[in-house]
Chain A
Amino acid sequence: MSERTFSVIGKRIPATDGPPKVTGTALYADDLRLPGMLYGKILRSPHPHARILRIDTSKAERLPGVMGVVTGKDAPARYGILPIGHDETAFCLDKVRYVGDEIAAVCAISEQIAEEALDLIEVEYEVLPAFLTPEEAMACEDPNLWIHADRKRNIEKEYHHHFGDVERGFREAIESGGAVRFDRFFQPRVTHAPMEPHACVAHWEHDGRVTLWTSTQTPHYVHRTLAEVLGIPMSSIRVIKPFVGGGFGGKSETFTHEIAACLLSKRTGRPVKFTFTREEVFYAHRGRPEQYMELKTGVTKDGRITAVEAKVIQDGGAYCSYGVVTILYAGALLAAIYDIPNIKYDGYRVLTNKPACGPMRGHGTVGIRFAFESQLDMLAEEIGMDPAELRLKNCLRPNTFTVNSLRVTSYGYDECLRRVIEASDWKNKRGKLPFGRGVGIGGSHYVSGAANSIIRSKMPHSNVSIKIDYDGGVTVYTGAAEIGQGTETIHAQIVAEELGVALDRVRVIAADTAITPVDLGSYSSRVTFMAGNAAREAARDIKRQLFRVAAELLGESPDRLVARDEKIFPQDEPQRAISYQEALMAAIEQGGTLIGKGAYTPPPEAQGGNFRGAGVGPGVAYSYSAQVAEVTVDPETGQFTVDKIWVAHDCGRAINVLNVEGQVEGSVWMGLGQAVAEEQIFEKGLTMNPGLLEYKTASAVDSPPIETIIVETIDPEGPFGAKEAGEGSLAATIPAVANAIYDAVGVRIRDLPITPEKILKALAEKRRRDKDANGHGEKPTA
Chain B
Amino acid sequence: MIPARFDYFAPSTLDEALSLLSQHLDDAKILAGGHSLIPAMKLRLAQPAMLISLGRIKSLSYIREEDGQIRIGAMTTHYEIESSARLREICPLLPECAASIGDVQVRNKGTIGGSLAHADPAADWPAAIIALGAELVATSTNGERTIHADDFFIDMFTTALEPNEILREIRVPLPTGTSQAYLKAAQPASGFAIVGVAVNLTRNADGSCQMIGVGITGVGPKAYRASAVEDALRGKMLDEQTIKDAAAHACDGVDANSDLYASAEYRRHLARVCTRRAIEAALRANRG
* Residues of chain A whose beta carbon lies under 8 Å from any beta carbon of chain B: 111-112, 115, 277, 279, 636-637, 639, 676-677, 681, 688-689, 692-697, 756-757, 760
Contact = CB atoms under 8 A, between A and B. Distances in A.
A681 B270 CA distance: 23
Contacts of B288: none
B266 interface: yes
B190 A693 contact: yes
B2 A694 contact: no
Nearest to A688: B260
A183 B178 CA distance: 53
A677 B189 contact: yes
A636 B269 CA distance: 9
Given A279-B1, A637-B185, A757-B266, 15 more contacts: A115-B2, A277-B1, A636-B273, A637-B269, A637-B273, A681-B260, A688-B260, A693-B39, A693-B189, A693-B190, A694-B189, A756-B266, A757-B263, A760-B266, A760-B269
B262 interface: yes
Contacts of A694: 189-190, 260
A401 B269 CA distance: 54
* 8 interchain residue pairs of minimum CB distance: A696-B189, A696-B188, A693-B190, A757-B266, A277-B1, A677-B188, A112-B2, A637-B273
Interface string B173-191: 0000000000001001110
Nearest to B42: A277
Contacts of B270: 637
Contacts of A697: 189
A115 B189 CA distance: 28
A279 B269 CA distance: 33
Nearest to B267: A757
A703 to B, nearest CB: 14
Contacts of B260: 681, 688-689, 694
Nearest to A279: B1
Interface string B130-142: 0000000000000
Contact of B185 (A639, A681, A689, A696): A639
A695 B262 contact: no
A111 B189 CA distance: 28
Nearest to B266: A757
24 contacts: A111-B2, A112-B2, A115-B2, A279-B1, A636-B273, A637-B185, A639-B185, A677-B188, A677-B189, A681-B260, A688-B260, A689-B189, A692-B189, A693-B39, A693-B189, A693-B190, A694-B189, A694-B190, A694-B260, A695-B189, A697-B189, A757-B263, A760-B266, A760-B269
Interface string B247-272: 00000000000001011001001100
Contacts of B266: 756-757, 760
Contacts of A637: 185, 269-270, 273
Nearest to A701: B103
A352 B189 CA distance: 27
Nearest to A679: B260
A694 B39 CA distance: 13
Contacts of A279: 1
How many residues of B sit at the interface, in one of the four size bands? Answer: 10 to 19
A688 B189 CA distance: 14
A277 B39 CA distance: 13
A60 B270 CA distance: 51
Nearest to A278: B1
A676 to B, nearest CB: 8
A762 to B, nearest CB: 13
Given A115-B2, A637-B270, A637-B273, A757 B189 contact: no
A760 B262 CA distance: 12
Contacts of B188: 676-677, 696
B28 to A, nearest CB: 21
Interface string B183-201: 0010011100000000000
B55 to A, nearest CB: 23
Nearest to A681: B260
Nearest to A691: B189
Interface string B1-27: 110000000000000000000000000
Interface in B140-177: none
B6 to A, nearest CB: 12
Nearest to B190: A693
Contacts of A111: 2
* Most interface-central of A636, A639, A692 (chain B CB within 10 A): A636
A111 to B, nearest CB: 6
A111 B266 CA distance: 43
Contacts of A696: 188-189
Nearest to A692: B189
Interface in B92-129: none
Nearest to A112: B2
Contacts of A277: 1
B262 A757 contact: yes
A694 B262 CA distance: 13
A697 B185 CA distance: 18
Interface in B48-64: none
Nearest to A637: B273
A76 B189 CA distance: 40
A676 B188 CA distance: 10
Nearest to A116: B2
A760 B268 CA distance: 13
Interface in B176-233: 185, 188-190
Contacts of B2: 111-112, 115
Contacts of A676: 188
A226 to B, nearest CB: 27
Contacts of A693: 39, 189-190
B273 to A, nearest CB: 5
Contacts of A689: 189, 260
A639 B189 CA distance: 15
A320 B260 CA distance: 28
Contacts of A115: 2
Contacts of B262: 757
A681 B260 CA distance: 8
A639 B270 CA distance: 10
A693 B273 CA distance: 25
A70 B152 CA distance: 51
Nearest to A114: B2
Contacts of B269: 637, 760
A757 B262 CA distance: 7
A581 B204 CA distance: 87
Contacts of B189: 677, 689, 692-697
B119 to A, nearest CB: 18
Contacts of A112: 2
Contacts of B273: 636-637
Contacts of B185: 637, 639
A496 to B, nearest CB: 40
Contacts of A677: 188-189
Nearest to A697: B189
A692 B103 CA distance: 13
A279 B43 CA distance: 10
Interface string B26-40: 000000000000010
Nearest to A693: B190
A694 B194 CA distance: 12
Nearest to A696: B189
A474 B260 CA distance: 54
* Most interface-central of B2, B262, B273 (chain A CB within 10 A): B2
A737 to B, nearest CB: 15
A751 to B, nearest CB: 15
A689 to B, nearest CB: 6
A34 B20 CA distance: 41
Contacts of A760: 266, 269
A435 B273 CA distance: 19
Contacts of A639: 185
A692 to B, nearest CB: 6
A760 B272 CA distance: 14
A507 B1 CA distance: 39
A688 B261 CA distance: 11
B34 to A, nearest CB: 15
